[in-house]
């Protein structure tokens, strides 16, 4: 490889200059595989958290819906409280869906 000279004496240029050796193909393949694996694990974690939150919200919605609308034994305070929780869950779900749709466009 021929040695090339770089003039770094220009006073207006500021910054860092790093010179690193070229990455070997085996090292590059290992690094890319490691990065792919880390990205896959991150994606799986995000999906798992989303599913746990979704199941929790569905459970809360079902319980609040039953107690607030269907249950004959629920007191009026419990019905009002459950209807408020149910409306918050529905509003949050609608906002999430509409927010996702508007952001992707």
In angstroms, the CA 38 to CA 45 distance is 11
Q: What is the pLDDT of residues 32-89, one digit of tens each?
A: 999 999 999 999 999 999 999 999 999 999 999 998 888 889 899 999 999 999 999 9
Q: pTM for the whole thing?
A: 0.63
Residue ranges of the domains in the chain? 25-104
- pLDDT value at residue 11: 52
- pLDDT value at residue 44: 97
Q: What is the DSSP string of 37-100?
A: HHHHHHHHHHHHHHHHHHHHHHHHHHHHHIIIII-TT--HHHHHHHHHHHHHHHHHHHHHHHHH
Q: What is the pLDDT of residues 10-35, one digit of tens each?
A: 556 667 777 888 888 998 999 999 99
- pLDDT value at residue 104: 56
| In contact, 78 and 103? CB cutoff 8 Å | no
């Amino acid at each position: 490889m021929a040695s090339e000279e770089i003039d770094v004496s220009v006073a207006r240029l500021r910054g860092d200059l790093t010179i690193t050796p070229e990455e070997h193909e085996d090292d590059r393949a290992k690094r890319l595989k490691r990065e792919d694996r880390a990205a896959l694990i991150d994606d799986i974690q995000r999906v798992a958290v989303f599913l746990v939150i979704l199941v929790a919200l569905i459970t809360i919605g079902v319980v609040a819906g039953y107690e607030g609308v269907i249950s004959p034994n629920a007191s009026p305070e419990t019905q009002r409280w459950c209807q408020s929780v149910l409306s918050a869950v529905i509003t949050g779900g609608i906002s999430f869906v509409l927010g996702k749709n508007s952001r992707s466009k």
